[in-house]
A and B are shown apart, each in its own frame.
Chain A
Amino acid sequence: MTATAPALVMGSVLFNWPVDTLADFFAHVADEVDVDRVHVGEVVCSKREPFFADRLPEVIERLQRGGKTVVVDTLALVTLKRERQLVADLAALDGVEIEINDLSPLAALEPGRRFAVSPLVNVYNEGTLGFLAARGAWSVCLPPELPMASVAALAAAGARLGVETQVFAFGRLPLAISGRCYHARIHGLAKDSCRYVCAEDPDGLEVDTLDGEAFLAINGVQTMSQDCATVIGETDALLAAGVNAFRLSPQTGDMKAVAATFRDRLAGRIDDTEALARLAAADLKVPLGPSMTSRAWTPANAPTRA
């Protein structure tokens, strides 16, 4: 048993879930899900943000009462005045951790103010990590496309700098963000008059090739992997590389079981085969797939079939 067990982190809900669904989800996480930290706040689209804004204080309090550290996320793409104001307001919040999803908040954060860094910020090397650490970063969730060698080099640098190294461990991978809304586009609408059609797809909408191959998923202005990518199967290598936090990105299904599976696997209580079998039984609506970190396995040679 190591002195510091790896942290389990529930990432922000990236999809457009109805307000009550979202509130129920956070209440469930607060009371029943074994994670150390929970992210709240809208990352993907500022048009979704107002609906949940009034509920946020009570949700934060509920999560804190449940013993969770709460982290509030900023928007991924900030262009409009209202979006800039949102970022400035979050940067000024006291008593709660914040996570930056682009570099815009650095302009507003008081020097020395702590912040976490999301996988949507390009941290590819020690120089960038060092700069962010000096500015107050205490945790960095690495971009999903980084290969294992980069993860190891950055985790080593993070250990020297006292910065937590986190990986995106479960969920549809955030692959791209755009000014254009693809949900609106395929419904023949524009972003400004989108009718919130993204809410029809609580796990995002699958994009397949013309030959029917599973390929991507769209979530408003965001493009994701179609697979629910998981680092199960790579946790030993990631821990050995010095990764000390694992992010679970909420999908429809039994996230309590997902979190328990990761907790057990990270503690060495179960092996990869059992962990994958338990994830496969977690009532997910999205097929599981490998992470981009090692590309160590494919659904065809997954640990369950070994």
Chain B
Amino acid sequence: MNVAASLTRPELVCPAGTPAALRTAVEAGADAVYCGFRDETNARNFPGLNFSPQELTDSIRFAHDHGSKVLVAINTFPRAGAETLWHEAVARAEGAGADAVILADLGLVAHAAAKHPNLRLHLSVQAAASNPDVIRFWADTFGIKRVVLPRVLTVPEIASINAEIPCETEVFVFGGLCVMAEGRCSLSSHATGKSPNMNGVCSPPSHVLYKEEGEDLVAKLGDFTIDRTPKGVAAPYPTLCKGRFTAGDYAGHVFEDPVSLDAAQLIPPLIDAGVTAFKIEGRQRSRAYTQAVVAAFRKAIDDHMAGRPIASDMTKRLAEGQTTTAGAYKKTWR
């Protein structure tokens, strides 16, 4: 019997840093696209990215016309004394016709649940809801409909969470990999004064400096050397937790190798674990990248649902020469 055929079709949730990328993702087969406003309310607050209110309205109309949903990420932690900016973002997202907002902050979730009772609420990965008890708290208290799970859980742990909670789960399957529990990391803040939680940026380009020293290219973040590579070798972007450091007798990647997440082969067990939606990271990536990754995962999910195997090499070229990992989904990663 074809087990896959009896399953609910999972939702493919794809990144869009710009209106053009949103159209690309929709046309490449995204069931849902997530994006954010062009300000500090979203966790990809990079120059040249994101949506004005009008662009969001127009993009949602386009997505809906093509049968796709739009989820609006308002997933930084509102600044004390300035919560109105985040409250307005939630109201604007609802006004623009968003299918859901993705929130991380307790106070903002409480506000949205009270003031926007008809707006569907998803809990951002930045809230790091890592067990059934806390997920039930969010769902029971605020009516959260879906939780994006932090990247600290194994597949069996995800299965046992899904068995105990009253809402949907979404997991990351491809792209950048946080090594720390998301939303609970101030490393970028420590090195640069700018953080994911407060400013929507991690290891921001504004604080990156590449410098030639003798035969080496030094990649710095703020005042700190994050990596050092011989000239002529491709220098990695100095993301803090992917850098090389020394600790005791150890020298190397203390936190994580410069790898990205690829859980394409885990789609079947993750569906069996009860996951509703698969998320691709990368709102900061190019349209070409978005098109290729979305199309590949569209095919992978469709193949699986049709009872065909997922091609083992489908994501190899997408990782752009980077090494990939299944991350915390495999217990040995810890």
* Chain A residues packing against B (C-beta within 8 Å): 76-81, 83-84, 87-88, 102-104, 106-108, 120, 122, 124-132, 143-146, 149-150, 153-154, 157, 173, 175-182, 184-187, 190-192, 205-211, 213, 215-216, 218, 223, 225, 292, 295
Contact = CB atoms under 8 A, between A and B. Distances in A.
A108 B331 CA distance: 28
B311 interface: no
B239 to A, nearest CB: 13
Nearest to B153: A79
Query: What are the nearest 7 A-B pairs in CB distance?
Result: A127-B107, A179-B152, A128-B107, A153-B80, A124-B77, A191-B334, A186-B250
Contact of B106 (A103, A120, A179): A103
A186 B195 contact: no
A178 B195 contact: no
B291 interface: no
B137 A107 contact: yes
Contacts of A77: 130, 152, 181, 184
B210 to A, nearest CB: 14
Contacts of B197: 122, 124, 143, 145
B120 interface: no
A144 B197 CA distance: 12
Given A79-B157, A127-B105, A179 B137 contact: no
Contacts of A186: 247-248, 250, 254
Given A145-B189, A205-B248, A207-B247, A190 B332 contact: yes
Contacts of A191: 334
Contacts, number: 210
Contacts of A126: 80-81, 83, 107
B134 A122 contact: no
A78 B137 contact: no
B-side interface size class: 35 or more
18 contacts: A76-B184, A106-B134, A108-B133, A122-B104, A122-B184, A124-B79, A125-B81, A131-B110, A154-B80, A175-B190, A177-B180, A180-B255, A181-B334, A182-B247, A208-B246, A215-B224, A218-B247, A292-B190
A218 B241 CA distance: 12
Given A79-B130, A79-B152, A180 B334 contact: yes
Contact of A127 (B108, B193, B256): B108
A131 B245 contact: no
Nearest to A103: B134
B119 interface: no
A289 to B, nearest CB: 11
B107 A129 contact: yes
Given A125-B77, A179-B152, A181-B334, A132 B224 contact: no
A184 B255 CA distance: 11
Contacts of A145: 186, 189-190, 195, 197-198
Nearest to A187: B250
Given A79-B153, A215-B224, A124 B331 contact: no
A153 B80 CA distance: 6
B133 A130 contact: no
B146 to A, nearest CB: 17
Interface string B190-232: 1101010110000000000000000000100001111110000
Contacts of B227: 210
Contacts of A104: 130-131, 133-134, 137
Given A122-B104, A175-B187, 10 more contacts: A78-B131, A81-B160, A84-B132, A102-B130, A104-B131, A108-B133, A124-B79, A125-B82, A176-B187, A206-B247
B96 interface: no
B107 A130 contact: yes
Nearest to B180: A176
A74 to B, nearest CB: 11
B167 interface: no
B155 interface: no
A107 B131 CA distance: 11
Contact of B223 (A87, A150, A213): A213
B15 interface: no
A226 B168 CA distance: 40
A184 to B, nearest CB: 8
A127 to B, nearest CB: 2
Nearest to B108: A127
